[in-house]
Amino acid sequence: MRIFFMILLCLSVETGLSQDLSTYRWEHRLMLILSESPADTTALTLIDALRNEPADLLERRLQIYHLTSDVAHKMYPDHQRIDVPSAYAKYHRSGESFELLLIGLDGGIKMYETSMVDLQLIWDKIDSMPMRQSELRSGGGG
């Protein structure tokens, strides 16, 4: 019986972020910022820059998450710790201490970077996405 619960726990931990992210599909674009430490200066600089552009984030329906090996936080539009212990391991792809993943409305990874990125590059990438183009043609941002 104990083994059954351990297996069940492992399965629920592994699928935790996937289930959480799937709830955003077709609703929000996601930016996952991964760093080894919650105090990583590159990650915090990018998060601060993004938070200073709330109109752009809202218009592009962008949610921001900061994932580390220890903890995950939703950073925008609200700040809250989230319980997704396997998220960092699942999305960490390189030996780099900083990674950025941009996930589109369809759930696909649209951008992957391992160094600081200019916000205009992010906006341009989102604005070039087919669904974003459709949003712009229909007269609304988000």
CA within 13 Å, CB half, 73? 15
Sheet holding 62-67, edge to edge: 80-82, 72-76, 62-67, 29-35, 98-103, 109-113
Q: What is the pLDDT of residues 40-57, one digit of tens each?
A: 999 999 999 999 999 999
**Residue 17 falls inside a structural domain:** yes
> Binning pLDDT at 50, 70 and 90, where does residue 26 land?
confident
Q: Provide the CATH number for the domain around residue 133.
A: 3.40.30.10
**Residue 80 falls inside a structural domain:** yes
**Residue 37 falls inside a structural domain:** yes
Q: ω into residue 77 within 30 of 0, thus cis?
A: yes
Q: Report how far residue 128's alpha carbon sits from residue 126's, in angstroms, rounded to the nearest whole number.
A: 5
* Chain centroid to CA 80: 14
Range with the lowest mean pLDDT among 3-7, 81-85, 119-123? 3-7
Whole domain around residue 53: which residue ranges?
2-137
**Residue 120 falls inside a structural domain:** yes
* Chain centroid to CA 96: 17
**Residue 142 falls inside a structural domain:** no
Check if the beta carbon of residue 117 is closer than 8 Å to that of residue 96.
no
Q: Report how far residue 33's alpha carbon sits from residue 30's, in angstroms, rounded to the nearest whole number.
A: 10
Task: Say if pTM beats, i.e. exceeds, 0.85.
Answer: no
> Binning pLDDT at 50, 70 and 90, where does residue 4 land?
very low
Q: Report how far residue 102's alpha carbon sits from residue 40's, in angstroms, rounded to the nearest whole number.
A: 19
Instruction: Give the total number of structural domains in the chain.
Output: 1
